[in-house]
Structure 1
Amino acid sequence: MKDRLAIGLLGLGTVGSGVAELISRNGKHIAERAGMPMVVKKALVRDLARPRNVGECPPLTTDPESILADPEIDVVVEVLGGEEPALSYILAALRAQKHVVTANKELLAKHGKELFAAAKENGVDLYFEASVGGGIPIIRPLKDCLAGNTIEKVYGIVNGTTNYILTRMENGHSYEEALAEAQRQGYAEADPYADVSGLDAARKIAILASIAFGARVTEDDVARTGIERLSPLDLAYAHELGYKVKLLAVAQELDGALDVRVQPALVPEHHPLASVSGVLNAIVVRGNAVGEVMFHGHGAGRLPTASAVCGDLIEVAHNIRQGVRGRNGCTCFHHKPFYPAGQVKIRYFLRLELADEPGVLAKVAAAFGQEKVSLAAVIQKRLTEHGAEVVLVTHPAATRQFAGAVAALKAFPETLAIHQPLAVEGEA
């Protein structure tokens, strides 16, 4: 019986230092839960001289092989982020028959199949609770606690940066102002592309969809639209209609095929997701037995993410004590097609600027009617210096038909501007 769990830590930045601190601060409690104490035997860093934000700093190294080839290290924790060298390091650890805990959503969304195959081949476990939702427990509930359900839908707010930006825009700040504030607060990177384009959220919903529906989903399978083209007017008009605007990640199964997407959407103000503000995340899971359950909390951050990593380390310790290997295997048992993107039926919100002339609204209605898109509401909001601003809300319509109607509007000389369409989730 092992007397301790020896950990090799790849990275001692924000999350890595949080893991080291939590193991030190809560060491007695964690040892009781794990059945053995944990120790970070070595941490990989780029610069040995750089100051570290951790109370009891573990031994440092710049040589990955001193961790990957150390026979005393039981588990490797990867918190470097990015694709390489993280992918190579994890594969090397698995092939050395070391368990791996990672927070790397990009690797799982791109290379999950390869990583789980390597873990299975070498009889070790790959855990990744921290890859989605930061400190929110969602991976293990999906894999274990809700395993008796047929999952119908998973959706929610999985990117805190965009949620913070949209919260600021609700107060009248422009997208540019809100983004700059997010960068000043440290919520957004200097290059915010992965967040604001929806790529980060696409990676997370790909992971959740793979688990929920038992079929491999990669980031390239996720249709995505970001928040870069949104205006405070979109949020203000949505509020007048009884909605909040959120960047939603959605995965659902329709007639045996998967619909997985990320897009700005109107959420009814009475829905629990509407009250999720700032950098918080929330994920809703709908099962055929449990109904809807929501997981809400800090989706990122030093200690929340470290909390998820430590939870995985406790699971690894349990497996080692019980002599169980390969328990946390891949759950992608099926090959499922993807629902044709153009046929997914969604309600839409669309803001237009039209020439203020008689008969223009009739032409707009006719364009939607030609594509068999039914309009639930047509509201003239205000006169601009060029024309009239109009907001449309549709009944559920196939994406292809809605796009056809918008294409027809673009051809009208009376159409002065067409702003980014938003999905509408539920009734206000």
Structure 2
Amino acid sequence: MSGMLHSVLNKLITSGDLKVHYTDNHMETYGNGSPPHVVLVFHTKAAERAIALDPELKLGECFMDGEISFPTGDIYSFLQLVFENTGAIAAKEPWMRVLAKLRKIFRPLQQMNTLSRSSKNVQRHYDLSGDLYDLFLDPDKQYSCAYFETPKSSLADAQLAKKRHIAAKLQIHPDDKLLDIGCGWGGLGLYFAEMLDADVTGVTLSQEQYQIANQRARAQELHHQARFLLQDYRHLDQQFDKISSVGMFEHVGVTHYAEFFRQVARLLKPGGSMLLHSIGRSDEPSSTNPFIRKYIFPGGYIPALSEVLPHIEQSGLVITDIEILRLHYAETLKAWREAFIVNRDKAKALYDERFCRMWEFYLAGSESAFRWQNMMVFQIQLAHRQDAVPLTRSYIEQEEKRLKKLESCRFKIVRERYANENTAAQLRH
């Protein structure tokens, strides 16, 4: 039995029910016996030592490599038990604070997102098989925080509400030239084009996203007003009435924030506005979780607002609104995690068991961070002028109501068109 690991768990786990089977056939129980009930089995001594010394990295690696397992509970319930007892472990143990400081020192090297390096980092994650993302995302392939108007909203409804919420904040008018930085698979840009008749340009560094977004634009007959480019935002030189960026800022890197906002200021017309939607941390600046950086989002970083706002001020842009979304991403990730588990065999057929364990840990760990730790999402509205948006926030709710009506009409037309096409096809046969 690892004496160091036993000592840490004995001190930190005071509630819940954790039973640990060590490699010497010794079993220890931690907590007060209340839920959640979790049984953790170590299969190698190396895993005991590794997790004791560096749990932020090694817990995920040992789970991914099958060196630990959970006969009772799962990786998510284990993380729940740990975080409900301890919060941020790094703040509790001296050696963890040392590791955190070392990771922070090397942060600039990890976030040198040059043009070529940014492209490679994006491709490592977003150029995975499109079939994989279809296993757990909503039908529109929204891969960012949804907006749950009610706790009972479905994932698809919450993702539609997210697009509506962003569109309402941007006050999009017909024929507005709109730029979507980090356009994903095109869902947000296509919403702007379809519902608001905007002229949309989306940019991505993912070959897979670029192809799918343009295929969708053609399939929906929106390709004349919605085009998606395989291009870095730093290479753009035209100006736009409105700019959106959702789930992309996390890949910029703190050393490139000044460059990002200077470019946004150049691209945004004098009377225009921008909506920046990004994951953030609610406490002080830190470093990227080492497992996430190594296996999921290389080059990525989740900023504190204190790291972002000074660069906006220096760019000459005006902050016209900030909204914090707290548990919305926890609920989004819960829906993704549950869908991934349901479709786990299909994911394994695409990749392998180790990949599935890696993604289980990624989704479980991410949800845990938003539910019990220090992660949140911020939406910052930016402009060149103070009067670029209305005086009060009531316009957002009013526009959302208008957009809901437009969606109802549009979806009715689409359903009727598909019904007519199916009827005609049946008659031909």
TM-score by length of 1: 0.31
Structure in which a larger fraction of residues adopt strand: 1
Structure in which a larger fraction of residues adopt helix: 2
TM-score by length of 2: 0.31
